[in-house]
Amino acid sequence: MRKIELLTKAHDRAGFDCGSEPLNSFLKQTARQHAERGISRTFVLIEEAAIEPKQILGFFSLNLCQIKSDSLTPEEAKRLPRDVSGIRLGRLAVAKEFQRQGIGRSLLVGALAKFMEIFHAAGGIGLFVDAKDQAARRYYEQFGFVSLPSNVLELFLPVRSIQEALADLGQRKPN
Ligand SMILES: CC(C)(COP(=O)(O)OP(=O)(O)OC[C@H]1O[C@@H](n2cnc3c(N)ncnc32)[C@H](O)[C@@H]1OP(=O)(O)O)[C@@H](O)C(=O)NCCC(=O)NCCS
């Protein structure tokens, strides 16, 4: 069994390699400092039975963000005040040897569930993500994220789509 938990010293940050150096070094050097300072939170996927230092199969980080509603599509911007809050999926990465096994998808579902926890406590219009390149953009698009008009590499998934996605997964679980 696998689970998602908050990154701590018990995890093997040094042994993680997703093939992207900026993402590796964020995990190794920045993620815990950012968590301590309240800049972002990083969550890791591990085997429940893992022994320390626990191998990291993949990770994502989240932070609060503020955006101008006029940077959304006119459809989304309708009836919103000028400044709105959301959650940003700052980083998402899977260890090289575990890529293309559905782990990225599981991490994304974990991030959507975390979004809902924050949404219930403090609101937020949806999840934003910065894709690092066009391939990453296509990756997020398959989960329903839509590019912002001002920047195709910045994508948005509104709260109603998050609720639908999670409800759909809940309905499919017994199978
Ligand atoms: C991008 C990344 C997070 C995807 O995670 P993953 O666990 O490999 O992806 P999944 O197994 O969940 O993929 C689900 C689907 O996404 C698509 N997909 C996955 N990786 C892809 C890639 N590199 N290029 C194009 N499509 C891809 C496929 O359709 C895949 O389904 P399939 O394997 O049945 O065809 C991972 O490859 C990674 O960490 N890459 C390096 C870092 C990075 O680019 N991060 C993006 C942050 S901006």
Q: Does ligand 1 lie within 6 Å of residue 20's CB atom?
A: yes
Cα atoms in the Cβ-side hemisphere of radius 13 Å centred on 133: 2
pLDDT value, residue 172: 64
- Note the pLDDT of residue 173: 52
Beta-sheet strand order (sheet of 151-158):
2-6, 41-47, 58-68, 83-94, 126-130, 151-158, 146-148
Ligand 1 midpoint to CA 78 (Å): 33
Cβ–ligand 1 contact at 103 (below 6 Å)? yes
Q: What is the pLDDT of residues 62-112, one digit of tens each?
A: 999 999 999 999 999 998 999 999 999 999 999 999 999 999 999 999 999
Catalytic residue status for 140: yes
79 lines ligand 1 (CB under 6 A): no
Instruction: Give the max Cα distance, the chain.
Output: 50
- pLDDT over 90 at 4, yes or no: yes
Ligand 1 centroid distance, CA of 56 (Å)? 17
**φ and ψ at residue 32, rounded to 5 degrees:** -70, -40
Q: Which domains does the chain have, with CATH numbers?
A: 2-172 (3.40.630.30)
Task: State the closest ligand 1 atom to the C-alpha of 131, by its place in the atom list counted from 1.
Answer: 48
Average pLDDT, integer, range 54-61: 98
